[in-house]
Structure 1
């Protein structure tokens, strides 16, 4: 699989490099959901795609240990486009590479007048919590997306990368990721984390856990609550001390095929082709 890169505008170029070692988080703790806080300023922008709470109860929780691994490796994304600001989520996969959903970087909603377009710039904020940015913020104008996403909007390849000049991952670490046997993931417990809208802002790291329902046609389906802004967040399995990202979150229950059944959200399942693509992006 090839990937295309943009520096404001699409370009047909990709580069290869040596494989980068993977690193995983070491600790973390879920905290009870806090009561809504009045925002100090209006929320800006909108989601790259909508998501859904699957039942009458919102099972997401705010993660308070945002400066501990692996939570500090999850990043809030502020996406500037020709059609205004949007919000999303990403996760560090290397010192200078943030993985997110392709539709957070190349989306028809980003182009004024439609037709599809690249984001202009993305601000990456690792481990944000409310108005605190303990590891600072990094602005990038260089992005990549999997070619099947750019060419046909294939949701199984809705994956992209934000390339950073600043090696933020050397300070906060990066997440382990892998392409696992889809049959082994069914009914496994998975976790989705990210920066959705909450209490009038996109500044809280929210986390939820639930079972994987199915894997079909390159997508993973799970019974985990999500809302707008969580697009691009890591879907991981395993203990919090050693999580492994297996998918990139991206879609609401309405995007679930009838064969899978109602009441699940979904993301692009990482495949061996995706792993090679991420390694290529890291080399760039």
Structure 2
């Protein structure tokens, strides 16, 4: 039962996006869905552990999620991490740099007491940087103005004007994990609008190996996709795209829990914390 629930969560299955899953299987081959299920079977022991830990970078509002063609719209209740956490037994860190979206994120998880919220951006180093948010599409935020604007190729009225530059506090992924004493991750999920590879590069995969990593490859160049795959494979991961947006990587030979990587991500129990800082 747990395995099936995790498999559904991983694919982000809802009634509305069954067609997308079918479309992805046609494009990437039937092996994509089979591979995801096989990977999840390898982490079954992790899923059955009393405490599981995740980090979600680019958490959005924790409730709605963009579903691409053939769905092509925002799906309410479509966020895969929300479904995972709502099933119980998961603790984690949710990172969202857009301050307006961050407020909704906290509200949507208001009844869950095992989460940490960070109103920051994950970057290559600690500091403060320019960041672009779009009021016409609050799920669209990026360090790149060009990346934000290219999501409006038709020139919709008011779209460009709705893009606002703000200053955001930044942490490297390593700093974030050290801050919260996170020494093991069961699931790392990244949706950073083109900066996913940069974030993965900043993680010391020798010292910290998440058991599974899901990242968005859609906004990477072909060179970045190739380099990212090579980086992960070099560090012991199997890497496969699962749909037109995302790639799933899992540690090789994960048949349960390895002796040198005990389950449990934080050295102390996670409690709900509001890590919001004025921008």
Normalization by structure 2: what TM-score? Answer: 0.30
Larger radius of gyration: 2
Higher strand content, 1 or 2: 1
Greater RCO structure (CA 8 Å; 6+ sep): 1
